[in-house]
């Protein structure tokens, strides 16, 4: 693997301009002061995190996600490129989903194979031919971006269902502002704290036409036992909307109401953090007690907006991912601004042949798997594992894709031994309303805290950083 | 506000209040049973503690006899008893957690801290001293929570629903003590007198923390009819039925005013309060103390059900 | 054949629920083999009945009733002219290409036993799709015993096949699972079956399967009776499995257990004759 691109010092060790002030500051600050602030940050997080941790019951300590106090910085031109690319990608995703549940032109044109859609568990036949308010399917997207050099950002994964993590983006910034005011004063950093306002404006803009002038927006959570419950209550609080569970809502005459102490109140927009399967026992899993019976009939009657729409998984599935560049071209007639990680589709004979021959250099992923399950990292695997995976690939090639192992960019990070480069990714959040697309500058930077590790997932010891977008 | 949120707040307050009450009963009973037999007679005070706690049915399904060990365990620590102190705090915290954002940080810290502390008691204290400390701690936890609610909550419907929970539960608890001990409070006992009854009366007052108040209000030695008067009709006594209903009516009226609409529960509560205001102890004794309390308990339950129907579902 | 249908679904609640919400797929549509003369649905409670078409083209009715509800009767009646088309279903409403009906669902996921069963048929020389499906129909009818006791609405194809017992729903699920495992698109049909043995009163509707044969189109197979569908089959709704075509799906708030009784009466209208 090539030497990773470092966001502060590039490939050649030369300081990159966006990091000039930060680098100087890191040189000035006394290690004990930095260490003190680091512990203070942890303390503050624990305090905020207390509310998060208690939901985790006994293992509350472990559930705190490490926070790194050294920010990750993007220059204004870099962000301009990213945000144009994100807007393009999400616009294409919306057009694609609308087409899949409508005219199916991209299937007829052979852009995406039919079976990849129809056999896909996340495709929802129930959405076929249903109109959604203002044709917006994915109002909230989290697009995972990785960087490999000065010029190149790749999209690693699209999250078009119920992307999470935005509460960390907001809290990371709050804590940095409290701890490092002098560092902020040396930069002009685009704010992120307007995200809740932008989200609310987005949600209100996609209210159904039958809604009142001041549409009622609620956040639907699976409940306190969900691992993201803290984020749900955090967002509901910041947006000033009710945090509801399925049992708080009911359907009458194809409208959705919430039970309040002042009687039933009509609900127009549901920001739902509950998976499709559980939304409505009359349409999906009949054993779901988390959903709202009849919700789909109100949805189909056009009296309520679900954000995101039902069935958006058909756009963020790993199997569909490799077709995204073609999807962008087909629907927008433009070249994709953000590239995909080169991906081999094992369902295609040529690709399969290449993958079998080069499996020791590739990452092989199961298309419907997630969270790193059913994944092979070729360079790290022994002979037996490689052989086992070759056999798996041959027996069901369509279930797999393969990608080269990427040298993700690194960022200076506080670790026990001092400051050292660690691999990072970025999840910006893209809001699509009826009026426009809104992207708060930045996003959630995840960092692999272990040296050399490429795994940024919080479940595997990954941490987070504040993400700064320099203003001009 | 969401009906579920109001429901959680209301029950959160009820459970905390109930835990405190159970602790008081256990404390009073412990004290009474520590006296020589000559002072308290042959009555089984542990039996009456179970009855006062309102869980005789559940208790005798498990135990055949009421004694210090099993009653203490059942009322304080049992997980099988949904109304034990432990279960009350568990339920209170579950309710609190479900409405985390409707609580102030102080309230959350109070209830969550109590819950965390409770885990440290494990399966219960091993000695009488430890039990005493535990029962004190339960009462202090309740006071702390109540104080946090009083001092930090916005005065809106969220606050009023927690108050309704407190007073409805308190009225029920006071009425239950009266229901179990009513025979001790009849005027006929005037002649009996003696140390036996004195300690019983004192225990009743202690279980509603009114022993000192009694003396301030009446400036007399303990008289059963005055105890009944204090616990039923005196609005200045915080745990009296009259005081609870003064508060229930006030809070229901605030809700009705804020919502611009009143319903059956406001009418019901006012009629209960009016009955208490217009009663004199003589009349109550004449028509039967027991019947009076029984009908009060029924009314109080009906108001609970009506609050649920009108606001919480 | 002209069939008169009267179908009552009666819910009785020991403890009346506060409200009931249901979605009905109880209204047949026309295709080349059937023409709906008249049809109506009556609900015993006061409510609004909202009619829609679902994504598969089935007609749905949704309603909600505010309780307390002690009894709820859904009454359906109508008359339908049917023709024997040798099981071939033409002119029905199709909202998806056949390929969609290869999807696995929870109720129709083939167990290894079902896969083996299907593969054995294929190996036994039923080469061409249509004869393969007829083979599947015959073998399933042979292999399975009709028995209403051991299975229920949520029983999967795999579970029913393991005990070789079930009702028409289970037969249809196993047929579908087996057909899909062989790469043949298949779907679930709910409807009514007019019995030729003179038994007019039944305590349930009927269910069977349709499978897609290239060049011929959708063909209906009734594995519970071991026959292709005839003019005795009245097709009401189709979906990926029972859940997608269920006559009634519902939930209720509050209340206790429910008691469900279904009465279906099918009669052949008297032949018209010249005066």
CB contact under 8 Å between C251 and A281, yes or no, is yes
Q: Shortest Cα distance from B82 to chain A (angstroms)?
A: 21
Rounded CA-CA distance A267/A255 in Å is: 8
In a domain, A174, yes or no: yes
Q: If contacts are CB pairs under 8 Å, which of residues 258-297 in chain A contact chain B?
A: 258-262
Alpha carbon distance B114, C77 (integer Å): 62
Distance CA A256, CA A292 (A): 9
Contacts of A259 in chain B (CB under 8 A): 2-4, 313
Domain ranges for chain C: 2-268
Q: Is A470 helix (H, G, I), strand (E, B) or coil?
A: strand
Q: Do B312 and A54 touch (CB under 8 A)?
A: no
Judge if B181 and B139 occupy the same domain: no
pLDDT score for C225: 95
> In sequence order, which residues have a C-beta less than 8 Å from that of residue C43 and are 6 or more positions away?
C49, C63, C65, C72, C73, C74, C75
Does A147 share its domain with A89?
A: yes
Contact between A261 and B4 using a beta-carbon 8 Å cutoff: no
Instruction: Report yes or no: A185 at the B interface, CB cutoff 8 Å.
Output: no
B1, B100, B110, best to mutate vs chain A, most A CBs in 10 Å: B100
Asked if residue B165 and residue B147 are part of one domain, the reply reads: no
Q: Does B197 reach chain A within 8 Å, measured CB to CB? A: no
Q: Give A59 or B303, the one with higher predicted confidence.
A: B303
Choose one of B153, B185, B209: the last residue of a domain.
B153
B85 to chain A nearest CA, in Å?
A: 20
Q: Which of B265, B262, B248, B270 is nearest to B308 (CA)?
A: B265
Do B99 and B198 sit in the same domain of this protein? no
Q: Which of A55, A223, A259 sits opposite B313 (nearest CB)?
A: A259
Q: Does A248 touch chain C (CB under 8 A)?
A: no
Residues B138 and B228: their CA atoms lie apart, in Å, by 27
Domain that holds residue A193: 17-208+304-336+407-469
Interface mutation vs chain C, best among A101, A105, A114, A125, most C CBs within 10 Å: A125
- Tokens 């309230």 correspond to what residue? B107
**Same domain flag for B113 and B163:** no
pLDDT per position as a tens digit, A421-462: 999 999 999 999 999 999 999 999 999 988 888 777 776 778
Whether B97 and A243 lie within 8 Å, measured CB to CB: no
Q: Tell me whether residues B261 and A261 touch, CB distance under 8 A.
A: no
| Contact predicate C63/C12, CB 8 Å | no
Residues facing residue C22 across a β-bridge: C63, C250
User: Does one domain contain both B163 and B276?
Assistant: yes
Q: pLDDT (tens digit, 9 = 90+) per residue, A102-132?
A: 999 999 999 999 999 999 999 999 999 999 9
- Please check whether residues B137 and B161 belong to one and the same domain: no
Q: Are C175 and C209 in contact (CB under 8 A)?
A: yes
Q: Do A294 and C19 touch (CB under 8 A)?
A: no
Residue C149's Cβ-count burial label (10 Å; 0-12, 13-18, 19+) is exposed
Q: Same domain for A173 and A189?
A: yes
Does B61 share its domain with B46? yes
CB pairs under 8 A between A and C: 72
Which chain C residue has its CA at the smallest distance from A289's CA? C251
Does the CB of A257 have a partner CB in chain C at under 8 Å? no
State CA A285 to chain mean position distance: 25
User: Which residues in chain C show pLDDT less than 50?
Assistant: none
Interface partners of chain C (CB pairs < 8 Å, 3 or more) are: A
Q: Are residues A158 and A131 in the same domain?
A: yes
Within a domain: residue A216?
Answer: no
Q: Is residue A434 part of a domain?
A: yes
pLDDT score of A54: 40
Q: Are residues A155 and A62 in the same domain?
A: yes
Same domain, A346 and A425: no
Q: Count the alpha carbons within 13 Å of A214 in the hemisphere toward its beta carbon.
A: 2
Q: Which region among A159-168, A431-440, B222-231 has the lowest average model confidence (pLDDT)?
A: B222-231
Instruction: Note whether B4 contacts A54, CB cutoff 8 Å.
Output: no
The Cα of C33 is separated from the nearest Cα of chain A by a number of Å equal to 26
C154 touches chain A (CB under 8 A): yes
Proportion of chain A above pLDDT 90, given as a percent: 76
Q: Which tokens hold the place of B102? A: 């409707």
Q: Which domain holds residue B208?
A: 155-313
| Cβ contacts of C19 on chain A, cutoff 8 Å | 250
Residues from chain A that touch C248, judged by Cβ atoms under 8 A, are none
Q: Which helix (H) or strand (E) holds A297?
A: helix A295-300
Please name the residue that has the structure tokens 């208490």.
B276
Query: The tokens of B166 are what?
Result: 């407190």
Q: What are the pLDDT digits (tens) for B251-294?
A: 999 999 999 999 999 999 999 999 999 999 989 988 888 899 99
**Cβ-based neighbours of A162, under 8 Å, separated by 6 or more:** A140, A272, A273, A274, A275, A308
Q: What size, in residues, is chain C?
A: 275
Instruction: Please name the residue of chain B whose CA is at the shortest distance from the CA of residue A261.
Output: B311
Rounded Cα gap, residues B165 and B148, in angstroms: 15
Residue A238 inside a domain? The answer is no
Return the closest-CA partner of residue A190 out of A76, A291, A282: A76
Q: Which residues of B touch A247 (CB under 8 A)?
A: 4
Number of domains in chain B: 2
* Cross-chain Cβ contact A118/C99 below 8 Å: yes
pLDDT of residue A56: 39
Chain A contact set for B112 (CB, 8 A): 54
Residue A419: both structure tokens together:
């400051």
Task: Identify which of C158, C191, C190 has the alpha carbon closest to the alpha carbon of residue C174.
Answer: C158
pLDDT (0 to 100) of residue B196:
62
DSSP letter, residue B311:
I
Q: Are residues B139 and B183 in the same domain?
A: no
Interface of A with C in 102-131 (CB under 8 A): 114-115, 118-119, 123, 125-130
**A441 occurs within a structural domain:** yes
B154 vs B95: CA distance, rounded Å? 19
A54, A108 in Cβ contact below 8 A? Answer: no
Confirm or reject contact between A233 and chain B (CB < 8 A).
yes
Lookup: tokens for B111 = 């209830």
Span A240-269, average pLDDT: 96
CA distances from B86 to B72, B93, B172 (A): 12, 11, 20
CA distance to partner chain A, nearest, from residue B234 (Å):
32
Task: Say if residue B10 is in the same domain as residue B118.
Answer: yes
Please check whether residues B74 and B188 belong to one and the same domain.
Answer: no
Is C146 in CB contact (< 8 Å) with chain A?
A: no
Whether residue B119 lies within 8 A of chain A, CB to CB, comes out as no
Tokens at A242, concatenated: 């009710």
Domain at A400, CATH number: 3.30.1490.270
Mean per-residue pLDDT of chain C: 93
Which of B112, B131, B153 is the endpoint of a domain? B153
A37 with A91, same domain: the answer is: yes
Q: CB–CB of C263/C16 below 8 Å?
A: no
Closest chain A residue to B115 measured between Cα atoms?
A54
Euclidean distance between the first and the last CA atom of chain A, given in angstroms as a whole number? 34
**pLDDT single digits (tens) A312-359:** 999 998 889 999 999 999 999 999 999 999 999 999 999 999 999 999
Give the one of B6, B100, B108 whose C-beta lies nearest to A261's C-beta: B6
Q: With contacts defined as CB-CB under 8 Å, which chain C residues touch A251?
A: 21, 64
Q: Does residue A312 share a domain with residue A393? A: no
- CA A133, CA A98: separation in Å to the nearest integer? 11
How far CA C135 is from CA of A436, C18, C98, C168, in Å, comes to: 58, 50, 21, 18
Sign of the alpha-carbon torsion through A35, A41, A45, A47: positive
Residues in Cβ contact with C235 at an 8 Å cutoff, skipping those fewer than 6 apart: C28, C31, C33, C34, C89, C92, C189, C191, C220, C229
Q: What percent of chain A has pLDDT over 70?
A: 94
Residues 275-294 of A with CB under 8 A from C: 281-283, 286-287, 293-294
Per-residue confidence band for A62, with pLDDT thresholds at 50, 70 and 90: very low
Do B124 and B258 share a domain, yes or no?
no
Q: Round to whole Å and give the CA distance between A239 and A200.
A: 6
Contact call for residues C178 and C110 (beta carbons, < 8 A): yes
Q: Which member of A130, A254, A287 has the closest CB to residue C55?
A: A130
Q: Does A80 touch chain B (CB under 8 A)?
A: no
Q: What pLDDT shows up at residue B195?
A: 56
Are residues B77 and B25 located together in one domain of the fold?
Answer: yes
Neighbours of chain B (3+ CB pairs under 8 A): A
Tokens 């008359």 locate to: C79
Quick one: three-class SS letters along B110-136? HHHHHHHHHHHCCCCCCCHHHHHHHHH
A398 touches chain C (CB under 8 A): no
Q: Are residues A346 and A461 in the same domain?
A: no
Nearest to C23 among A119, A129, A297 (CB): A297
Question: Which residues are registered as beta bridge partners of C74?
Answer: C9, C43
**For A122-143, what is the mean pLDDT?**
96
**At the topology level of CATH, where does C2-268 sit?**
C8orf32 fold (3.10.620)
| B94: closest chain A residue by CA | A224
pTM of the model: 0.90
pLDDT of residue B161: 97
β-pairing, A217-220 with A242-244? parallel
Query: Per-residue confidence at A52, pLDDT binned at 50, 70, 90?
Result: very low
Mutate to test the interface with B, among A46, A239, A261 (most CBs of B within 10 A): A261
- Nearest chain A Cα distance for residue B308, angstroms: 10
The 10 Å Cβ neighbour count of residue C125 is 9
Residue B169: how many other CB atoms lie within 10 Å:
23
User: Which residues does B75 contact at the CB level (< 8 Å), separation at least 6?
Assistant: B22, B25, B26, B49, B50, B53, B55, B81, B84, B85
Question: Using the beta-carbon criterion (under 8 Å), do C95 and A128 form an inter-chain contact?
Answer: yes
- Residue A266 within any structural domain of the chain: no
For residue A459, the model assigns a pLDDT of 67
Q: Model confidence at A49, in pLDDT bands (50, 70, 90)?
A: low
Nearest to A297 among C55, C62, C104 (CB): C62
Question: What totals of helices (H) and strands (E) does chain C contain, helices first?
Answer: 5, 17
User: Which of these three, B105, B127, B153, is where a domain ends?
Assistant: B153
- How far does C269 lie from chain A, in Å, by closest CA? 35
Distance in Å, alpha carbon of B88 to nearest chain A alpha carbon: 18
Residue A218, in any domain of the structure: no
- Name the band, by pLDDT with cuts 50, 70 and 90, for residue A239: very high
Give B107-117 pLDDT, tens digit per residue: 998 999 999 88
Please check the confidence at residue A167 and state whether its pLDDT lies above 60: yes
Note whether A135 and A67 are same-domain residues: yes
Select from C17, C24, C55 the residue whose CB has the most chain A CBs within 10 Å, as the one to mutate to test that interface: C55
For residue A222, tell me if it sits in a domain.
Answer: no
Helices and strands (DSSP H and E) totals, chain A: 15, 21
């Amino acid at each position: 693997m090539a030497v990773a691109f470092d966001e502060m010092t590039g490939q050649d060790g030369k300081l990159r301009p966006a990091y000039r002030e930060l680098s100087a500051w890191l040189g000035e600050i006394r290690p004990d002061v930095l260490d003190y602030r680091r512990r203070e940050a942890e303390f503050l997080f624990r305090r905020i995190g207390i509310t998060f941790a208690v939901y985790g019951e006994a293992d509350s300590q472990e559930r705190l996600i490490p926070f790194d106090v050294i920010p990750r910085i993007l220059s204004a031109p870099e962000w301009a490129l990213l945000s144009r690319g994100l807007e393009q990608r999400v616009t294409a995703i919306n057009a694609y989903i609308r087409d899949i549940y409508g005219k199916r032109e991209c299937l007829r044109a052979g852009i995406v194979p039919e079976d990849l859609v129809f056999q896909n568990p996340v495709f929802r036949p129930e959405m076929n031919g249903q109109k959604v308010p203002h044709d917006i399917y994915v109002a909230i997207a989290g697009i995972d971006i990785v960087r490999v050099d000065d010029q190149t950002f790749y999209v690693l994964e699209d999250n078009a269902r119920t992307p999470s993590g935005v509460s960390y983006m907001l809290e990371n910034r709050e804590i940095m502002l409290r701890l490092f005011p002098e560092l902020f004063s040396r930069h002009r950093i685009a704010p992120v704290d307007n995200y809740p306002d932008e989200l609310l404006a987005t949600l209100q803009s996609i209210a159904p036409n039958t809604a009142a002038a001041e549409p009622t927006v609620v956040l639907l959570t699976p409940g306190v036992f969900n691992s993201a419950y803290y984020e749900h209550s955090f967002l509901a609080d910041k947006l000033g909307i009710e945090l509801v569970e399925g049992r708080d809502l009911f359907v009458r005459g194809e409208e959705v109401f919430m039970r309040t102490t002042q009687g039933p109140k009509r609900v127009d927009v549901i920001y739902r953090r509950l998976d499709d399967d559980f939304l409505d026992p009359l349409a999906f899993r009949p054993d779901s007690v988390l959903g709202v019976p009849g919700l789909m009939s109100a949805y189909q009657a056009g009296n309520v907006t679900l954000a995101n729409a039902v069935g958006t998984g058909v756009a963020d599935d790993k199997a569909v991912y490799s077709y995204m560049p073609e999807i962008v071209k087909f629907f927008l007639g433009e070249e994709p601004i953000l590239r995909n990680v080169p991906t081999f589709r094992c369902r295609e004979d040529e690709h399969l042949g290449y993958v079998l021959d080069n499996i020791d250099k590739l990452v092989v992923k199961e298309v419907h798997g997630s969270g790193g399950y059913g994944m092979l990292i070729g360079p790290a695997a022994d002979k037996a594992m490689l052989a086992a995976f070759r056999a798996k690939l041959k027996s069901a090639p369509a279930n797999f894709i393969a990608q080269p192992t990427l040298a993700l960019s690194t960022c200076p990070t506080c670790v026990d031994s001092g400051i050292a480069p660690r691999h990072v990714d970025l999840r910006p959040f893209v809001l699509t309303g009826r009026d426009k697309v809104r992207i708060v500058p930045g996003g959630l930077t995840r960092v692999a805290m272990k040296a050399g590790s490429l795994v940024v997932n919080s479940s595997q010891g990954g941490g987070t950083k504040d993400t700064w977008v320099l203003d001009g | 506000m969401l009906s579920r949120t109001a429901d959680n707040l209301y029950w959160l307050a009820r459970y905390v209040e109930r835990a405190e009450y159970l602790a008081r009963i256990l404390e009073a009973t412990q004290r009474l049973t520590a006296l020589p037999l000559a002072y308290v007679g042959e009555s089984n005070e542990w039996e009456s503690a179970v009855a006062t706690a309102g869980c005789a049915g559940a208790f005798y399904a498990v135990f055949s006899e009421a004694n210090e060990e099993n009653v203490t365990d059942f009322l304080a620590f049992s997980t099988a008893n949904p109304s034990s102190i432990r279960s009350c705090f568990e339920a209170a915290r579950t309710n609190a957690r479900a409405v985390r954002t409707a609580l102030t940080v102080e309230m959350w810290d109070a209830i969550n801290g109590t819950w965390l502390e409770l885990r440290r008691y494990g399966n219960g204290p091993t000695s009488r001293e430890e039990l005493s400390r535990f029962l004190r701690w339960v009462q202090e936890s309740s006071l702390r929570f109540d104080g946090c609610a009083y001092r930090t909550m916005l005065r809106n419907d969220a606050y009023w629903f927690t108050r309704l929970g407190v007073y409805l539960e308190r009225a029920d608890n006071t009425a239950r003590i009266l229901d179990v001990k009513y025979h001790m409070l009849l005027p006929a006992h005037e002649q009996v007198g003696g140390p036996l009854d004195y300690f019983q009366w004192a225990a009743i007052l202690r279980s509603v923390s009114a022993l000192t108040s009694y003396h301030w209000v009446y400036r007399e030695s303990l008289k059963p009819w005055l105890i009944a008067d204090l616990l039923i009709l005196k609005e200045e006594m915080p745990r009296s039925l009259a005081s609870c209903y003064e508060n229930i009516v006030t809070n229901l009226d605030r809700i009705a005013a804020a919502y611009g609409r009143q319903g059956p529960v406001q009418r019901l509560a006012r009629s209960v309060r009016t009955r208490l205001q217009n009663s004199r102890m003589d009349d109550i004794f004449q028509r039967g103390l027991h019947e009076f309390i029984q009908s009060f308990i029924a009314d109080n339950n009906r108001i609970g059900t009506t609050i649920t129907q009108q606001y919480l579902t | 054949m002209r069939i008169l249908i009267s179908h009552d679904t009666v819910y009785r609640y020991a403890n009346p629920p506060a409200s009931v919400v249901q979605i009905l797929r109880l209204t047949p549509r026309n295709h080349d083999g059937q023409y709906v003369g008249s049809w109506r649905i009556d609900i015993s409670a006061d409510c609004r009945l909202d009619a829609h078409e679902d994504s598969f083209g089935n007609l749905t009715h949704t309603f909600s009733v505010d309780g307390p509800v002690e009894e709820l009767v859904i009454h359906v009646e109508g008359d339908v002219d049917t023709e024997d088309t040798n099981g071939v279903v033409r002119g029905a409403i199709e909202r998806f290409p056949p390929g969609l009906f290869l999807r696995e669902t929870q109720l129709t996921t083939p167990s290894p036993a079902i896969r083996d069963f299907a593969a054995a048929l294929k190996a036994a020389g039923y080469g061409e799709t249509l004869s393969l499906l007829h083979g599947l129909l015959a073998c399933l009818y042979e292999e399975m015993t009709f028995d209403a006791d051991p299975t229920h609405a949520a029983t999967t194809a795999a579970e029913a096949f393991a005990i070789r017992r079930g009702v028409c729903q289970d037969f249809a699920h196993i047929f579908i699972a087996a057909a899909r495992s062989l790469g043949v698109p298949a779907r679930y049909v709910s409807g009514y079956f007019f019995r030729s043995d003179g038994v007019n009163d039944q305590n349930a509707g009927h269910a069977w399967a349709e499978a897609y044969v290239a060049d011929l189109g959708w063909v209906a197979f009734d594995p519970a009776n071991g026959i292709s569908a005839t003019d005795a089959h009245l097709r009401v709704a189709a979906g990926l499995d029972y859940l997608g075509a269920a006559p009634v799906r519902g939930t209720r708030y509050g209340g206790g257990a429910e008691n469900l009784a279904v009465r279906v009466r099918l009669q052949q209208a008297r032949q018209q004759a010249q005066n």
